[in-house]
Amino acid sequence: MQSRNWNLQFPTFELASEVNIIGDMKLFRIGELAKTAGVSERTIDYYTKLGLIAPEERTEKNYRLYSNETLTRLERIVQMKQEKYSLDEIKQSLEKWSLVSTEEQVASKLTTLELHVQQLEREVNELKPLLGEMKPVQARKMMAGLLAKSAGTMEALKILLENTMM
């Protein structure tokens, strides 16, 4: 049997990076932003045209570059769309949010966090009698996974609170 020497050459492409970094700020080109946010590039274009999001700047080749703040805003838009808000309602909500000061945003988030903690406390109190009815081995097994996940969250809250109290 005669062996063949295949001399195949494939074209090579140099892909431009879709993520740009300027200073300490990471900027996304439209494709990377779309992929990260889980939406289409067409959606990004549409939201940009509507004024729901705006590019941070443009490259020399006129590519739009979007910031992490835009990604956060886009995630909020997607969440509100899932909650059945219209694009007009979303735009109004985002405009109001933009007018709120950082201090008000932090206060609002802390209030929300406090409400979540209170809800968790109520749920733990509801679980105590149920866990008391279970065999100790069963209760430990059920709590093992929860404790590992919760420990990280509690540690993050502790660090946050310690850093803000300094």
- Give the pLDDT confidence of 77-89 residue by residue, as tens digits: 999 999 899 999 9
Contacts of 105 (CB under 8 A, 6+ apart): 97
Residue 7 maps to a domain? no
**CA-CA distance, 84 to 148, in Å (whole number)?**
35
Q: Are strands 57-58 and 19-22 parallel, antiparallel or unpaired?
A: unpaired
pLDDT at residue 20, as a whole number: 57
Q: What is the mean pLDDT of residues 23-45?
A: 89
Contacts of 131 (CB under 8 A, 6+ apart): 139, 142, 143
Q: What is the mean pLDDT of residues 48-65?
A: 92
Residue 160 reports pLDDT greater than 90: no
pLDDT level of residue 22 (50, 70, 90 thresholds): low
Between the alpha carbon of residue 149 and those of residues 53, 110, 155, 162, the distances in Å are: 34, 21, 10, 21
Same domain membership, residue 34 and residue 88: yes
**CA-CA distance, 73 to 8, in Å (whole number)?**
47
Residue 81 maps to a domain? yes
More confident residue, 14 or 55: 55
Domain total in the chain: 2
Contacts 24+ apart (CB under 8 A), 78-84: 78/37, 78/38, 78/39
Residue 17 reports pLDDT greater than 70: no
Q: What is the mean pLDDT of residues 28-33?
A: 93
pLDDT at residue 132, as a whole number: 84
**CA-CA distance, 128 to 147, in Å (whole number)?**
15
More confident residue, 19 or 73: 73
Determine the distance from the C-alpha atom of residue 90 to the mean position of all C-alpha atoms in its chain, rounded to a whole number: 17
Last residue of a domain, one of 99, 118, 149: 99
Count, residues in the chain: 166
Q: What is the mean pLDDT of residues 16-34?
A: 71
The residue range of the domain holding 71 is: 19-99
